[in-house]
Amino acid sequence: MTKHKGLEVKGSLVAEGLDLNEDKIVFTSICDDEYGGDTDNASTTCYWNRIHFAPSSDSSFFKNVKIRYGGVPDDGISPWRTIWIENSEVKFENVSLENNSGYDIYVEGNCPQLINTTFEKIYPLECSP
């Protein structure tokens, strides 16, 4: 994704890659040379904003996915969240969150189901079963 851009989910987002490392789905920034090559002809780091699950975006899931270099809003002031779940059922399986800024996953509502999912950090809020 390009710098400071993101996705708004109002419905279901299903991202299902395959198990092998090279067959995973990668959400990352255009500046990440590790995936997709050097597409911006620069070696600087940049971040996309976030994936926001609006309320009732149920049946969403990530499986065999990497989520990298997210979390930074374009105004620099809005909350820094790579994944923002608002009262939605979102499942994570075999997901790694890497090099994100701010919250990896920010939850308003029930905790997401997490299976074999690795974080550098997690700060769920109002996450109650």
Q: How many residues bind Ca ion (CB under 5 A)?
A: 4
Half-sphere exposure of 37 (CA within 13 A, CB side): 2
Q: Is 33 in the site for Ca ion (CB under 5 A)?
A: yes
Q: Is 93 in the site for Ca ion (CB under 5 A)?
A: no
- Give CA–CA dist 69/30, Å, rounded: 9
Residue 96-115 contact track with Ca ion, rule CB under 5 A, x = bound? --------------------
- Give CA–CA dist 74/95, Å, rounded: 25
Q: Is 40 in the site for Ca ion (CB under 5 A)?
A: yes
- Give CA–CA dist 97/54, Å, rounded: 20
- Give CA–CA dist 61/93, Å, rounded: 8
Among residues 8, 16, 34, 38, the one that binds Ca ion under rule CB under 5 A? 38
Stretch that binds Ca ion, among 9-17, 40-48, 76-84, 97-105 (CB under 5 A): 40-48
Q: Parallel, antiparallel, or unpaired for β 81-86 and 25-27?
A: unpaired
Q: Is 126 in the site for Ca ion (CB under 5 A)?
A: no
CB nearer Ca ion, residue 40 or residue 108? 40
| Residues binding Ca ion (CB under 5 A) | 33, 38, 40, 42
